């Protein structure tokens, strides 16, 4: 059920350029997988690249973008239930 819901949400979010685009779904070893556009590094990797420290302005910009994404998801009738740096690109 979760997989189908994610596919449906990605279809709704494709009009917003800030989200990844779904290309296909495939089965690998009896597990359903999404094939999506490649995005920039996640925040955890970006923080490592920046020697473990973001500037204040970078933190403000990242926070604003994350809030914008969450607001768009909410305005489409969904909640993001797995917010963590690995899921932020």
Dihedral, CA of residue 20, residue 21, residue 24 and residue 25, to nearest 10: 40
* 89 — pLDDT class (breaks 50, 70, 90): low
Q: Using one digit for the tens of pLDDT, what is the confidence trace for 8-24?
A: 988 899 898 888 889 99
Residues designated as active site: 82
Q: Using one digit for the tens of pLDDT, what is the confidence trace for 40-74?
A: 777 788 889 889 999 999 999 988 988 998 999 99
């Amino acid at each position: 059920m979760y997989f189908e819901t994610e596919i449906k949400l990605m279809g709704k979010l494709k009009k917003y350029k800030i989200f990844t685009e779904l290309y296909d779904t495939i089965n690998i070893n009896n597990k359903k997988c999404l094939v999506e556009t490649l995005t920039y590094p996640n925040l955890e990797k970006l923080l490592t690249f920046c020697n473990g420290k973001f500037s204040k302005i970078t933190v403000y910009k990242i926070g604003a973008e994350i809030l914008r994404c969450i607001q768009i998801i909410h305005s489409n009738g969904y909640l993001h239930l797995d917010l963590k740096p690995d899921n932020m690109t």
